[in-house]
Structure 1
């Protein structure tokens, strides 16, 4: 048995950790970059060499046994130590050069960030930007990304950053359409599909708009703006998007309860890396200059 333990490799721990995280072999295989059949064979070899079952196979997925849970815990601790070493090494860099992996949403990238990123590249041509569009927060501790640009009122406590503005939301309709006096019963509505169930603006629409008037839902803010402009209904939109579209007009002033803070975030170990600091400084200055527009002061109701 002692020989079996000595034969364990980091890849074995990484494989078990992936299965524990994903609960299925296909997803775990994709996570570590191997074929499903290879994942199945490797798991069998590890269990055979250890002489113990690491996962119970249920209809709901792979459930770790106590041994599998402990091995996955060791894998997580090893990943954190490797990521920590990588972050500390990055913190020793001097030149403003290298790659920065940035995660943000498609909405922020398309309607706000791209011109500022282009200006940053012009000023720092030695920096390469790798953009990851994801609405879910990536793990900056594992260096899935170096910088996160997010609209949130609850940034992770493990990260450090700067709040640059409050993103306002207001009610909009098509610019040329007649608007009845009773918006709730006289208009069709469009709404954002919020799978997380956390957005106050979505909860408000669901609580106040009659179900028969909720004509269209979409899980993209960009798609939501297109729907209002196309006349599918009235709906709440971020002011920094809607105020710049001639096909839309405000129907009410921004509601402070529906806004979210715009944050520039990174891991504490990376904040003094020259290229990270340069990007954060550049974006903070550029976005601060647009604060009135972001906070909905750029147009009247």
Structure 2
């Protein structure tokens, strides 16, 4: 039985995302397309492949039997795609770049403008995310990641160190130094944050606020809720914040600019990766404090 690759893509997207809406967003198609193609695939197999629940789609026993084969077909198709596009030597077309949102906002935007001035036929699609896009599945072409060790199958280079410092408002500092008890504004994962602040001058200060994103942590600090550990490129450029006394600087996790090895032969990816790496190195003082 011949199975259409597009239908298998929808099957895999539903298995990974769990809902038709999320699968549609992943594949950049409509919710109705997801439903229609899934119906066609299940009709072709003569059985339901998912259990429908109030929370979404869960692969059932029939779906599990085709999952491994669908993943194998996907790997073969992606390998073929990377092999073909890797021979593309044109300095035009699309490049998808993923990076954490603050990095895009505070560091990359001016670089992207300069790159576009030099290469007007190359279009950059930004994927702001704290998560790890799957470069093997071409969720992105280039990723900037913070990791102690990047995946072995990816290639790239280590970037200059990104450092953090500790910020609060001048009024908060005046009220809590030298004799007060400042409070931390933490990440959502307070256990990981507790490990992070061991290297700061305030490892025993209470963690009384848990805020899920850097932007909200900066805003919470700017509104006087406490002190926040922020990337220097972010905190130093917030006019409402200043470094707390004796804040020092702390090393963040190692930063990497990465791509899939099959894409190194794509000229526009090679040129863009080289441009970004050189531009970020030139901003070492800005990101390292």
TM-score range, shorter chain: 0.7 to 0.9
Look up the match of 1:181: 178
Comparing 67-76 with 261-270, greater Cα deviation is found at 67-76
**Partners of 1:197 and 1:66 in 2: CA distance:** 37
What is the aligned length?
A: 283
Name the structure 1 match of 2:206: 210
- Whole-angstrom CA distance in 1 between matches of 2:4 and 2:227: 58
Identify if the C-alpha distance between structure 1 residues 181 and 29 changes in structure 2 by more than 3 Å, giving closer, same or farther: same
TM-score (norm 2): 0.82
Instruction: Name 1:275's counterpart in structure 2.
Output: 268
Aligned ranges 1:1-301 → 2 under 5 Å:
5-6=1-2, 8-28=3-23, 31-32=26-27, 33-35=29-31, 39=35, 43=38, 46-47=41-42, 49-56=44-51, 62-175=57-170, 177-178=173-174, 179-182=176-179, 186-194=181-189, 200-201=195-196, 208-210=204-206, 214=208, 216-250=209-243, 251=245, 252-256=247-251, 259-296=252-289
Once the two structures are TM-superposed, the CA of residue 268 in structure 1 deviates from its matched residue by 0.6
Q: CA deviation at 1:113?
A: 0.9
> How far does the alpha carbon of each residue in 1:209-248 deviate from its partner, in whole angstroms, 9 at most, with x for none?
435xx2x432221232233233221121111222234433
Aligned counterparts of 2:11 and 2:288: Cα–Cα separation in 1: 47
Q: Which runs of 5+ in 2 are unaligned?
A: none
Pair 1:23–1:120, CA change in 2 (3 A): closer
Check conservation: 2:183, 2:205, Cα contact below 8 A.
Answer: no
What's the RMSD between the two structures over aligned residues? 3.2
The secondary structure found in structure 2 opposite 1:260 is coil
CA deviations over 1:87-125 (Å, ceiling 9, x no partner):
222211222222111111210011111111111111222
What SS class does the counterpart of residue 185 from structure 2 fall into? strand
The structural deviation recorded for 1:162 is 1.1
> Does structure 1 retain, via aligned residues, the 8 Å contact 2:23–2:34?
no
Shift of 1:52: 4.3
Structure 1 length normalisation: TM-score?
0.79
Contact 1:168 1:294 in 2 (8 A): yes
* Secondary structure, aligned partner of 1:236: strand
What's the secondary structure of 2:138's corresponding residue?
coil
In the aligned structure 2, how far is the partner of 1:196 from the partner of 1:118?
39
Indicate the larger mover: 136-145 or 152-161: 152-161
Partner SS for 2:145: strand
Secondary structure of the residue aligned to 2:256 is strand
Identify the range of structure 1 (149-158 vs 46-55) with the bigger mean alpha-carbon deviation.
46-55
| Contact 1:54/1:66, CA 8 A, preserved across alignment | yes
Moved more, 10-19 or 143-152: 10-19
How far did 1:196 drift? 10
Give ranges in structure 1 of 5+ residues lacking alignment.
Answer: 297-301
